[in-house]
Amino acid sequence: STGAKQALISLSDKTDLANLGNGLESLGFSIISTGGTASSLEAAGVNVTKVEHITNFPEMLDGRVKTLHPSIHGGILARRDQEHHLKALNEHGIG
């Protein structure tokens, strides 16, 4: 849904990642993450949706391509003040 609070997390430096993930989760965010970041969050007990479950496409090129997908960037780039943007998100199942 377009009203849900979501956070996309992909970090090379995992310092304090558990605090970030737990903090966002406690604020009501659902967390979407990539590869090693998702694994680290899961190990810390944070609920995570892996990017590949949203895109239905695996990470590739040594992890350089993982979030470049309409199912991810549509949600980032949509303007919430534009009704036709929200309609397009709904039509394509993009949160």
The percent of residues above 90 in pLDDT, for the chain, comes to 43
Of the CA atoms within 13 Å of residue 42, those in its CB half-sphere come to 11
Q: Is the dihedral of CA 70, 72, 73, 75 positive or negative?
A: positive
Does residue 43 belong to any structural domain of this protein?
A: yes
The percent of residues above 70 in pLDDT, for the chain, comes to 97
Average pLDDT, the chain: 87
Q: State how far the Cα of 75 lies from the Cα of 3, in Å rounded to an integer.
A: 11
Residue 56 vs residue 53, higher pLDDT: 53
Q: What is the pTM of this model?
A: 0.76
- Count up the domains in the chain and report the number: 1
Cα dihedral 8→50→44→95 (10° resolution):
40
Does residue 33 belong to any structural domain of this protein?
A: yes
pLDDT in tens, 12-21: 889 899 999 9
Does residue 1 belong to any structural domain of this protein?
A: no
In which domain, by residue range, is 54 found? 6-91
8 pairs with which residues across the strands?
32
Could you tell me the maximum CA-CA distance found in the chain, to the nearest angstrom?
40
